């Protein structure tokens, strides 16, 4: 079995379509500097907690320079979600903040392991987690979580 038929989410479809529209078709295309520029967001690495900041038209994502690159990439995708999908002062709205963080977690999974790229892999391979982690340059725990989400959305085959 290669890649199973599974029901994608609306958010997953939006991320995939954005990547396809911008010609991101292979894991090596997912350069966070390029994605930031494409989104008109400046990316900086500094020894501080990751964050998204917007001042007027200037937008910036900061990732923690003290962390290994794979974790910086995870931080980037998380903060990119806040930049593209969320507005307002999160500290002033605790319930909305919780929902935004959940949305950002899902976005991170889809942006770091996009459906149109991972469907080229054999998900039943015992080495799939290590392969995704290596190819997409992201932490293993993100790959495990993404695989679990896929397993939970597999469309059962209909037998007649």
**pLDDT for the residue 101:** 81
- Asked whether residue 2 is assigned to any structural domain, the reply reads no
- Asked whether residue 86 is assigned to any structural domain, the reply reads yes
- Asked whether residue 3 is assigned to any structural domain, the reply reads no
pLDDT tens for each residue of 73-83: 999 999 999 89
pLDDT tens for each residue of 101-129: 888 999 999 999 999 999 989 988 999 99
**pLDDT for the residue 1:** 46
Q: What is the 3-state secondary structure (H, E, C) of the chain?
A: CCCCCECCCHHHHHHHHHHHHCCCCCHHHCCHHHHHHHCCCEEEEECCCCEEEEECCEEEEEEECCCCHHHHHHHHHHHHHHHHHCCCCHHHCHHHHHHHHHHHHHHHHHHHCCHHHHCCCCCCCCCHHHHHHHHHCCCHHHHHHHHHHHHHCECCCCCC
- Asked whether residue 73 is assigned to any structural domain, the reply reads yes
Mean pLDDT, range 19-45, rounded to an integer:
96
Number of domains in the chain: 1
- Asked whether residue 159 is assigned to any structural domain, the reply reads no
- Asked whether residue 4 is assigned to any structural domain, the reply reads no
- Asked whether residue 135 is assigned to any structural domain, the reply reads yes
pTM for the full predicted model: 0.87
Range of the domain at 74: 10-152
**pLDDT for the residue 137:** 98
pLDDT tier, 95 (very low <50, low <70, confident <90, very high otherwise): low
């Amino acid at each position: 079995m290669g890649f199973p038929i599974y029901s994608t989410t609306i958010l997953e479809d939006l991320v995939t379509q954005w990547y396809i529209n911008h010609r991101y078709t292979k894991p090596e295309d997912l350069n966070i500097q390029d994605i930031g520029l494409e989104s008109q967001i400046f990316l900086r690495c500094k020894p501080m907690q990751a964050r998204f900041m917007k001042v007027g038209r200037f937008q910036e994502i900061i990732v923690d320079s003290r962390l290994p690159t794979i974790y910086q990439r995870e931080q980037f995708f998380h903060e990119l979600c806040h930049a593209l999908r969320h507005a307002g002062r999160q500290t002033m709205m605790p319930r909305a903040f919780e929902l935004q963080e959940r949305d950002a977690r899902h976005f991170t999974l889809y942006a770091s392991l996009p459906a149109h790229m991972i469907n080229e892999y054999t998900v039943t391979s015992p080495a799939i987690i290590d392969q995704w982690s290596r190819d997409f340059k992201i932490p293993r725990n993100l790959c495990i979580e993404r695989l679990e989400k896929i397993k939970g959305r597999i469309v059962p085959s209909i037998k007649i």
